[in-house]
Each structure stands twice: as C-alpha cells, then as structure tokens.
Structure 1
Amino acid sequence: MLTTSQPTISFEKFSAKIRPLLTRVYSTEQIDVLLPRLFELTKASLKAHAREDLGKWDQDKVLLITYGDSIVGEDTSPLQTLHQFLNTHLSDTVTGVHILPFFPYSSDDGFSVIDFLEVNPELGNWADVEAIGRNFNLMFDLVANHVSSQSEWFEQFKHNQLPGRDYFISLPKDTHTAEVVRPRSSPVLTPVETHGGIQHVWTTFSADQVDLNYENPDVFLEFVKIILDYVGHGARYIRLDAVGFLWKSLGTCCIHLPETHAIIQAFREILQMVDPGVALITETNVPNRENLSYFGDRNEAHMIYNFSLPPLLLNALMQGRADHLKTWMMSMPPAPIGCAYFNFTASHDGIGLRPTEGLLEAQEFNTLIDTMRNFGAQISMRSKADGSESPYEINISLFDACKGTAKGIDQWQIERFICSQTVMMSLEGIPAFYLHSLLATPNDVEGMKATGRNRSINRHSWDKVELSQRLADEQSPQAIVLKELSRLIQIRRQQKAFHPNATQYTLHPENPAILAFWRQSVARDQSIFSIHNLSDQPHKLELSALNLVNTDTWMDLISGAPVDDLQAVYELQPYQSMWLTNHPYYDRSNTPDHRDLEFLYEIE
C-alpha cells in the first residue's frame, strides 16, 4: 500500500472534491456513511498539492500488450520469462507493458477474477510484476464490472454471509431484460443454487462472471481499495475493463449510464489526490460517439481505446482504398487537454465490429467478414434486443488477417502487415502493440480447438526455445517483423511531431489508395507527412501536391533518403510508407541501416 507519515488533505477538502460526484450515484444518507470510510482508506496516500499532471506522456511512450504467459520456458516462471524477453528484445523499443489480468481466475483467460489482490501462482508473484515495473511502466486491469463465481465474495453471497451477500444483483427469473445491450449471446440472468434456494444473478458476459452491484456503496469502496493496492505495486496505467456496463437500471440499455460515468470520475478524482501521474484508461468497445463520451469534461478517462481503428484500417487494406478510414479520421476531434487516444490494431480480444456501425455499408461489411473467414477467422456473435444475432468481432491473428485482400491470398503479407502498424503508430495518440503483432504470430488453430473458444486463435503461448530459434532465423516472419517494427518504433519515439497530442490533419490525394495525413509538433518546429500506399499495386505520389515548404530541407525518416526535388514524382511500392519531415530528430547510430529494408521496398 501507499503510505505517508500523516494525511496531507483534510477530510473537509477531500469531501468537497468527492461528495459532488457521489451525489449522482448515492443518497445523502449513504454518502454520509461512505465518505469517512473513503477518507480513512485513502488518507495515508493523499497528497496536499496533487495538481493535474499534463506530462504523463510524450512521443517517447509506446506500450506493449501481453499475457503473463505469452512466452513460457521450463527454467523460469512465465512472468520472469516475459521480463527476460522484454529486456533482451524490447528494452529500446517499448516503454510500458500492459500485463493482461495476472490474478487467480476461473475462466476467460484471466477476466473472471477470483482474487483481485493476488498474483496467479502459475505466472509468478508480486515480486516478478514489480521487477518488470522497474524497467517498464506497468498497466494493470481493473476488472470492475464482475467477479468470478468462484470468488470469496460470491461464496459469501451463496451462503448469505457478509459482505458478499449484498455485492450482487438477484432478480426474478422472468424479469424483462430485452433492452439490455448484450456483448454475448448468453442469458442476462443465470440461476444459482444458494443457501436460500435458486436465485437468478446478473451475468453480462458469462455464467462464471457475475456482475457486481454498485448500488451498494461498499462495492465502490472495495474497488477504491483495489486501485490503491495496484498503485502501490507500481501501476502507472489502470485499465477499466468493460466499464461501460458498470451500472444497471431496468428499463434501460444498461450501458453508458450516467452513474457509470460518475463512478469513473470519482475513481479519477481519488487517483488525482493519491498520484496524479497514474492514468485511467477506459475499455469500451462501442461505436465512436459512445466511446468519446468517456473523456467526460476532461474529468473522466485520461485515455480511451481507439476501437474504430482496427476494423477500419483492416478494411482499408482489404479494399485497397482509404476513404472510410479518412472519413473516420476527419470525424475524430483532437483529444482534450490532459487526455489522449490509445491506438492499437490488435489485442487479446478479437477485432470489434460495433465501432464500424454507420461507417461501413452492409455489402462492404459482409465482404470484410467473408475475407477474414477465408483467412481462417472465426466470427463471434452477440444478441440484439429483438432476439436476433449480429457479428460482434472477428477472431483472427492480425498477421494472418493480412494474408491478402478481398481478392484473395497474395505475396504481400509482411509488407501489408508492417504498413498497418506504421499507420497506427503515426496517428494522434499513444501506440500500443500486441506482443503477437511484434512477433508475427499466425492463427493458433490448435489452441482454439483445445479451449473451444474463438478468442484463443489470437492468444498463442510461445515456447521460449522455439521463439528464440525463429528470431535467430533472419528469414523467418518473426525475425523480419520484429526487427523492422522495432526500427520504426525507435525512429518514431524521437519525433516531436508524433507527440500523442500533436496536430493531425487529414490530406486528400486524388488517388484513393494513398492515405496521407500531416502531423505537426506542439512547438510547430517539426512537420511529418505520413504517407501510405494501402494497395497491392504501385502508385505515384506527386510531392507538389503536399505543398512542402521549399525553404526547408526534407527527408524520409523510414528510408533515410533525402528529398531534394519537391516537384518529384515518387512511385510508392505496394504497402510502402513514408514519413517526410523537415526536422528529423533521428539518431541513426541505434537503428539498422535503411538498406536492410530492400527486401520490403525498392529504395533508390
């Protein structure tokens, strides 16, 4: 736990900050009881002058997303093996690590948590986690919506014992729940045998993941305790998993309710007084406008996942044109001050399809799904209010999703995949790379068959020895992709124009196959034109169309080549990217020579 010698914020000041948020959730009587308990819980950690930290990130921040056992060996625990891999291969590449839930669990690969305060002994222990945190900024998951049916709290519920007796939602089995937004096809209510007979409890995600009842202030208090514990163990980012479903109110959709936003704001305000350097990130895999609401009025999430990016970028590469991706980019407002987008193209989950609503026409949507099926994907479904089902996410390794286009499989898989990652790390926001993207991991069909779960196709666990052999083979996809993406990330981290909050402006080349946008540093001393050929054909780029300032000296950061003739016409090879800049912040001594890229692009 975080400790100081004495509280540095009075109860009155603490109450003045927290009470207005809690009044949107709880009654006056409940708040009068809750506030002294909250203060007692947090007072040893409160700071007197905890001003908002607007410097939580810059262009140097790059995160990795991984399970604790994505790489396993016989001689060390999985978390120790992960730490060794990070230090050997990624110490100069990523600055932070999101270790997906590493707690004891009963299902859903960690997201059905049995004990929020312990490390799964099959992965390691808190010392292993904290050791990684000494080299990398850590992100922890706060799985705040639900808990495992095998947890102590739920056992207490079943035996009518405190405190868990009052931590869950039990309703008559015939309760009308048709309006409830469903991320799964399983029932909302699950029958459970308890000391008092069969009860039907709320289970948004699965029968093993029982939703918590935030109408009970004690549940809120429990999660403040958990947040403080995570910060004490070194968390610099706290990811609020499935947080949109937090509050339930019958007769509503039970997602994004005002009470949910108020609870997140209360979490943030408490964190602000404890450690203003810690960032909250909300995980809400929903259409874009709903997702943006989690910035609040600069008083809610510090970061939100850019969930529209993965399906729209993948569709653009499948179709060989940038129009829908550009439409979305132009609709995105700059992140508010003190906030940032969290950019990713792949994660432990599938590629969410709800964020494409209103952006892709039905025929193109269906073509994307059919194409992915041809590349080995599974399609997960969700239940709608009318009882029908619709595609919810594509389950596939992103590397295998790039096997080809809507026309079929081709020879451009590596180039197409690297292009996808280069686009992602160029956009406004903080880039995050799934470990299996950096390692070009293919579909794990055997793993999916073994678990019977679609998402296992993209949750491979590498054997440390086999992975080392692949990375030692310079011709393997794993070695090629890791080497090139590491090089690009290292270049990107030095460019002020790639600050997460630097200006972004979408350009409009006549050729729909070319995606182009302009980034400018906050100090306006660097511009980068990020240009990408999204197709499997060469395309010409007229530099005159970019209106480059002719008094500046320009170069392509990716190839390292100078750009001397601003009227020149370049031929972009299939899936080639360019970062044209007038002020390179670039130390070539630590990155491979650009001639190593001749296997990818025809560089003059």
Structure 2
Amino acid sequence: MTVLLETLCGHLAALYPQSESAALAQRLCTIMRIIPGGPEPEPYCNHWDEGDVYVISYADSLLSETHLPLENLQHFLGHYLAESISGVHILPFFPYSSDDGFAVIDYYQVNQSVGDWPQIREIAAQFDLMADVVINHCSSRSGWFENYRQGKSPGKGYFFEGDPQADLSQVVRPRTSPLLTKVQTLDGERHVWCTFSADQVDLDFSNPEVLCEFVAILRFYLEQGIRVFRLDAVAFVWKIPGTSCINLAQTHTLVRLLRLLIEHQRPDAIIITETNIPNQENLAYFGNGNEAHAIYNFALPPLLLNALLTGNGRHLRNWLMTLPPARSGTAYFNFIASHDGIGLRPVEGILDRAETDRLIGAMERFGGRISWRDKPDGSRAAYEINIALWEAMKGTLAGEDHWQLARFLCAHTLMLGIEGIPALYIHSLLATGNDHARVAHSNHNRHINRHKWDYPQLQALLQDDGSHHHQVLAAMKLRLAIRRRQRAFHPNATQYTLQLGDAVVGFWRQSLCRRQSIFALHNLTAQPQALALSSLNLAALDPWTDLLSDQSYEDHQGQIELAPYQCVWLSNLSDG
C-alpha cells in the first residue's frame, strides 16, 4: 500500500469505522484523479512570499449597465491593482438563496447575474484565486435538499437530523435562531440541524457519500484554475449531540484528509480554514503542519480596533508577543476588515467585559450595529460588530475627530507589517462608508459593510484627487508597492515584539536570509510620540532609512519623532 493510501485509510478509519477504508480511499483517489504511488508533495513548503497580497471581494461589488459584475471586478483588479496584489478571494459566486452566497443552491454553477466559469477562469489566469468551499451547510432550496425530502439520491442521508427532545444545550452557536428546523419528508416529519439559519441546512459528514460529493467539487474547482480553498465555517462541520459540536477531533481529521487529497492533485494548492473562534482554538487548525496551510488571524481586527480607539496598544502588544511563529509550510492570513463583522469571540479572555462594552458603545455611536449569539446557558453575547472600517476609524472613545484618514492608514500599515499573508477588503481599499440603506432594506446587519458600487461612479471618484476614496487607494498602493519588495516582510520572516510603551506598537522583522531588518513602529495616538533610537538597538554600521518617508537616521543615539498615527518602516536596506 502506498504512503498516500495508508494515510488516507488511517483518516477514514477514524471518521468511518464501519466502512471499508481501503475501498473508500481508492474511490476518493479516483474522484480526485490521483494515481497512488506518485511523488509525495514536499512537506513544510511555503507556497507564498513577501509579494503575496490578497483582495477580498464579492463578485458583484462593482456594478454597471454594460458589463457583467465579474468583468467589472477583473477590470478593477487589472487596471488599479495589477502591481499591488497577487491574489483575489471572490466570495461565494454560486447560485444562492440567502446570506449573500453562503446558502449555496448549486456548487457547480456560477450565479448567472455575475457571469460564468469563463470569467472565473480569466481571473484565475491573472491572479491566485481563492474560492469558498461552503462545507458545513447548503441551501434548503438546493437539489440535494429537495431529494432528501423525497428520499432520493443524491441527497438522501446528506443532512444532519436532530432530536428536539435531546439535550442540545452544550452546542456552541454563532446565531440566535433555532438550531433545529422542522421539515416534512416522504418518511414523515424530521428536524434538520441549522447552525446558521433555517435556509442553511447542515450537511452530515458522518455519511461518506457527503465526503465523496465534496471531493468531486474540489476537483472541479481545481480544474477551473482555483488554487486556494477557504473552508467556510469548518469548525462546525462534525456534530455529536451532547457535545459542543465545534472543533471536534473528527473535524480536524477531515481537514487533514481534504488537504492530503488536494495537495496530491496540485502540490501548490492552499487550504485556509475560516474559524471565528477563540484564539487558541483557532491556532489548533495548523495541526502538526498537516491541516490548514493558513488560518485567519481573527483576533487581529478587534485588538487593533481597540488599540486605536483607546490609544493604548497593551492588549495588542501582549497578543503579538504570545502569537507563536508559524512553522514553514503554514502562515497566518491577516486581515482587519472583511465581508463579515469584526468578531468578538477571538478576544474572549483578552479584553474584559468593560473594555468590550466600551468598544461596542463607540462603534454604535459611529453608526455600527451589533450581532448576537446564544450561549449554552441561554443568555446572549455580542458575536460581532458590523461596521465599515472607514467609519470605525472616524474617532476614538472620546468621540469623532479629524484624524480619520491617518488612523485608517495606520491600521492598515500595521497589518501589512506583521507576520503572515495580508488580505485587504475591497471596501477598505475604496474607503467605502456604512451602507445604512442596504441594512434598512434587508434587515441584515452585515449589509452595512457590503456596499455595491456603481462602477462608473466609483471610477470618477477614484480620478478625483480630492476624494477620500482616491486618497486611500493611492496611499494603500504606495504601501503595497514598498512592502512587496521587502524580504523582511516574508510571511514567515522572524518577528519580535518591541517594548516601547502603550502609545506605540512596534515589532522587528528579519528576513529568512537575515540580511534585512525592519523595525515597524506605529503611533496609536493623536499626540506626537518621541522614541530614543537607542531603544531599538540598531546595528551601528548599517544605514537606516524609513521606507515610507525616505528619511534617513544616521545618529543612532538620537530620537525618532512620530507624528499622530504615523508609521515608520525603519530598514537597513532600501530594497529587501
């Protein structure tokens, strides 16, 4: 038996002890079109470098009367960002019934309103394309679910059923909607499990037929040029009533199995797990370098937001100090804004209740909304803050001020410097504000940060140098151009957190070859801050220059003056 088949059989035996593992392993290889016995993927290989930057966007974020939304997105990426990014994450572009794409009706089709597979393949030919694998649930209007109700295949046995009389109080929920939904089937009344909403019915991966379906979907996506796979809400995928039904051992085994198959089909493919959960639980999805290639750094957005609104970086600094270096072959996926809200679960145990309440209060004053979740004891807790990041940066706990642009750029500059692969939400690049009209129309809090631009109107704003949309995009492109040339910003380059007081957050990055060092310094306040250069222990023989301003620092015993919200990338090399 080959190494691949032996490893697959081990995973399958843990997941499906009643099945014939060898036969199922061979079937999965056939579906994925893998010939066992071929070369093994190189372990602990970094499929990224300092040049990698992603944009996150819906397929229909840019609309016009003359072109399909995917064509508009391709034009925007090529015309405005070709030299600034390497990849794009297009959020679910399939036919759907709710949740802006995350209730998939058909995994093999592109939503006709945005385009078709030729447009997807064209974008994949220009950029590394990340696509969602909505693996925990699908639409109640899908063919699978209709077949389930009719007792037909494929679909029969595909969905997780629950007993309304069972004790499900320990189940961790991200929502306040009922967990079980009653449906009528040919076999009578059933209650299906719905972690997120009644329209998003949870799949039953304890049925190996469901696994085979998704392996076929993954192979199809690979054939369309998709290289990066985001496993949406994967932490909830395996259910055992009487447990929390989150982060179960079987879930981690399933991630390892999917990675094994994907990387044997395409060795440079990447799996990213989307697990908006407390920080230590999130880190577990690295496994032993054999689960996710990258994990979302979910604690970063709320901690950075808190640091800039309070002017105090203590929690952010302490978190950076405890963040373990990602081993070769793994990386953090860094972001500070996305299509979802700013999650609060990742900072449980980091921010106390009073600090979280102050943060929530400020965001509500800036026009934000709060989404809630049910706790096992029956109480409710704030799950996420829903707000456009541009609006979140309009002030501090003291109220609104005139530092919005500087504060916004400080947030992104800090994110671009820390260990990991950076990802920028399209609406942050465009400094899009809160979309209250969409929230009022849909009664869906997350729509506040999912604006749909009229693309010709946006292009006019981006040509107007007096527009804050133009100013933000220009400033971001400048930072990206600098960042992508610095080897010290490789996602796995060494990082040490500096002790510079609470008003300034700083860290030292060193390239893997140890030639380049960058001291990244960030003033979190609206007051100037002075730092003694001697506190950085700069190498005496090296010339040091701020890459962002081109200012040189020759007197290593002097001071560096940071203006309000100023950032400095102090490097011993002008080009890494």
TM-score by length of structure 2 reads: 0.98
Corresponding residue number in structure 2 for 1:564: 554
Please provide the CA RMSD for this pair. Answer: 1.2
Corresponding residue number in structure 1 for 2:493: 502
The one-letter amino acid of 1:176's match is D
Corresponding residue number in structure 2 for 1:487: 478
Residue of 335, 350, 353 corresponding to 2:341:
350
Give the count of matched residue pairs: 575
Residue of 424, 449, 452 corresponding to 1:458:
449
Residue of 75, 100, 103 corresponding to 1:109:
100
Partner secondary structure for residue 197 of structure 2: coil
Of stretches 577-586 and 482-491 in structure 1, the one that deviates more from structure 2 is 577-586
Distance in 2 (alpha carbons) for counterparts of 1:230 and 1:131: 14
- 1:123-522 maps to which residues of 2 (within 5 A)? 123-509=114-500, 511-522=501-512
Distance in 1 (alpha carbons) for counterparts of 2:511 and 2:125: 30
Partner secondary structure for residue 413 of structure 2: helix
Deviation (angstroms), 1:174: 2.1
| Structure 1 contact 439–478 (Cα < 8 Å) conserved | yes
Deviation (angstroms), 1:193: 2.1
Corresponding residue number in structure 2 for 1:59: 50
| Structure 2 contact 103–137 (Cα < 8 Å) conserved | yes
How big is each residue's C-alpha offset from its partner over 1:327-358, in whole Å with a ceiling of 9 and x where there is no partner? 11011100022100000000000000001101
Distance in 2 (alpha carbons) for counterparts of 1:329 and 1:391: 24
| Structure 2 contact 34–265 (Cα < 8 Å) conserved | no
Distance in 2 (alpha carbons) for counterparts of 1:32 and 1:80: 45
Distance in 1 (alpha carbons) for counterparts of 2:439 and 2:573: 47
Partner secondary structure for residue 564 of structure 2: coil
Distance in 1 (alpha carbons) for counterparts of 2:345 and 2:225: 34
The one-letter amino acid of 1:146's match is H
How big is each residue's C-alpha offset from its partner over 1:484-530, in whole Å with a ceiling of 9 and x where there is no partner? 00100110000000000000000001x31011110000000000000
How big is each residue's C-alpha offset from its partner over 1:467-489, in whole Å with a ceiling of 9 and x where there is no partner? 01111110111000000001001
The one-letter amino acid of 1:580's match is L
Structure 1: 5+ residue runs without aligned partners?
1-10, 587-604
Deviation (angstroms), 1:131: 0.5
Corresponding residue number in structure 2 for 1:532: 522
| Structure 1 contact 46–273 (Cα < 8 Å) conserved | no
Deviation (angstroms), 1:45: 6.8
Residue of 545, 555, 561 corresponding to 2:535:
545
How big is each residue's C-alpha offset from its partner over 1:560-596, in whole Å with a ceiling of 9 and x where there is no partner? 111122122222111000000001217xxxxxxxxxx
Cα distance, 1:193–1:409 mapped onto 2, change above 3 Å: same
Partner secondary structure for residue 199 of structure 1: strand
Residue of 7, 15, 18 corresponding to 1:25:
15
Partner secondary structure for residue 165 of structure 1: coil
Residue of 82, 102, 118 corresponding to 2:109:
118
2:552 is aligned with 1:585: no
| Structure 1 contact 52–272 (Cα < 8 Å) conserved | no
How big is each residue's C-alpha offset from its partner over 1:394-414, in whole Å with a ceiling of 9 and x where there is no partner? 000011000000000000001
Corresponding residue number in structure 2 for 1:38: 28
TM-score by length of structure 1 reads: 0.94
Deviation (angstroms), 1:457: 0.1
Partner secondary structure for residue 221 of structure 1: helix
Deviation (angstroms), 1:276: 1.1
| Structure 2 contact 55–425 (Cα < 8 Å) conserved | yes
Deviation (angstroms), 1:38: 1.3
Cα distance, 1:329–1:372 mapped onto 2, change above 3 Å: same
| Structure 1 contact 45–274 (Cα < 8 Å) conserved | no
Of stretches 562-571 and 92-101 in structure 1, the one that deviates more from structure 2 is 562-571
Partner secondary structure for residue 23 of structure 1: helix
How big is each residue's C-alpha offset from its partner over 1:149-168, in whole Å with a ceiling of 9 and x where there is no partner? 00010000111112211101
| Structure 2 contact 4–37 (Cα < 8 Å) conserved | no
Distance in 2 (alpha carbons) for counterparts of 1:434 and 1:205: 23
Distance in 2 (alpha carbons) for counterparts of 1:19 and 1:204: 30
Structure 2: 5+ residue runs without aligned partners?
none
Partner secondary structure for residue 139 of structure 1: strand
Distance in 1 (alpha carbons) for counterparts of 2:163 and 2:33: 41
Distance in 2 (alpha carbons) for counterparts of 1:81 and 1:342: 26
Of stretches 544-553 and 203-212 in structure 1, the one that deviates more from structure 2 is 544-553
Distance in 1 (alpha carbons) for counterparts of 2:36 and 2:3: 11
| Structure 1 contact 71–82 (Cα < 8 Å) conserved | yes
Deviation (angstroms), 1:39: 2.6
Corresponding residue number in structure 2 for 1:595: none
Cα distance, 1:26–1:489 mapped onto 2, change above 3 Å: same
Distance in 2 (alpha carbons) for counterparts of 1:45 and 1:498: 38
Distance in 1 (alpha carbons) for counterparts of 2:212 and 2:276: 26
Deviation (angstroms), 1:198: 2.2
Distance in 2 (alpha carbons) for counterparts of 1:104 and 1:137: 23
Of all paired residues, the percent bearing the same amino acid is 49
The one-letter amino acid of 1:357's match is E
